[in-house]
Structure 1
Amino acid sequence: MRFDTPSKVIGHISGTIHTNAMQADENFRSAMLYAHRLTAAAESQVESTFLNLQQDAMIATHVMGGRVEHLFQTIRPAAQQLIYRAEQENEQLFLFIHNRCNTDLTAVMTEITRYRDSLMSDTFHTLTTIELGLEQVRQSVMQYAALRITDAENRVKGLGREILGLGPKATLNRGFAIARTIDGVPIVSAEQAKQYPELNIEFRDGILKVKPIGQHND
């Protein structure tokens, strides 16, 4: 794209700088918002899953305790009845039944305890496995968010370099000249230039003072 006047070059540069700066700011804000949402969603999911698993473990423990008590209450009356009958019939039979009942009760309680311990161990193992999985998910989300933020920062830096490439110095190096007032105010039109008795024309290798032709007289 070619421009016939320095003022149009300056106008184009100004518009490009503004557009790129706004786009860079928008990209950075979008990346930060997305990273924040990902982190919040991951933390919420981890917390919710852990609470659900904790509640399930408490329910399982409560149910198992109730079953143990129920089994004990069911077996105990029968054992007591057998002991009573044995006492009525024969002392020797009483001793046999008494010992047998105690053995059976001990075996039942041992089995119930083993089953309860196994259930608690399995539940703890499941909770640990899920927690590790959720931690891995959280780490993946954080890494992805960090990559997005780094990408946004790189884009902002790239746009900064591009903006610097569109500055006045770069314009002069491409063969254009910039007209300014003696005080350094840029001139953007021929009509504006006619309002001043002298102007500075800036080239790549120096500044030249000129007098506009056809300037307006006060």
Structure 2
Amino acid sequence: MERWTESHDANPDAVVIIRGGGAVNDLAWLNDYALAKLICELPMPVFTGIGHERDSTVLDEVAHTKFDTPSKVIAGIEQVIVRRTREAEDAYESVMQAAELAAERAKASVHRFDADVRAGARRQVEFAKRRSAELFAAVKEVSVTTIHRARVLTNDGVAAVLQGSAQTVAEARNESKVSVDFVLERAQSHTIRVRAAVDASYAVMSQSARRAVQDAKSKSEALMREIAGQGPANTLGRGFAVVRDVSGKPVTRVAQVNPGQVVSVQFLDGAIGAQVDGVKK
């Protein structure tokens, strides 16, 4: 079966297991459970023809059809083919006869229906002509009556429209006056609310500005005190000294003096002269 499926797309129509006759012991290997299970699970019928008429195996018991000998299997298959061929031929003949009969009946029905349709169409055309003439006369009469009524209704309608227009204009004037008063009242109320909100915002901003000015004043005074505390006298009083060159300018870097240069050193209570022996960077 594996080789069959490798070379064919569809399953075989049937599986045939045959073996020639011999000793009974020579057929014992066919009494196999796995082989019998495979036969039961195959999707197509299995025919067996094993040994002689007296021989019987497990495969014969589970097969679709059991034949006494291998030759009878071939004969049985041939009979099935012949029977199926005859059945197909008979079915084809029956189909052809039924088709011919149906075609004849359909042809007769078509002719009959065609005649009925033609006759019915002629009757409908005649009826439509008569009915159209009657309807045209009725429409003409109704049109004259409708035109007369329309004229009367038009005159009445114009008068009603004029009266209704005057009333509508008066109502519109009253509604407009009410609407203007309502709008003015709403605008005045909104103006009052906006003015109150502006006053509140101005008060908050004024308070915030005063607080910011006071904070800035306090910080300025603190900075002035700190600056005053950092003056030269206070710095010299903490043990520092100021070195000046011969022109009186403060010396802040080693690069500003040279060995042998005369400088003055200022202390809190006075100054002394000095000479630079060496420069160390």
Give me the TM-score of the superposition, normalised by structure 1. 0.39
Which structure has more helix as a fraction of its residues?
A: 1
Give me the TM-score of the superposition, normalised by structure 2. 0.32
Please identify the structure whose Cα radius of gyration is greater: 2
1 or 2 for the larger relative contact order (CA 8 Å, sep ≥6)?
1
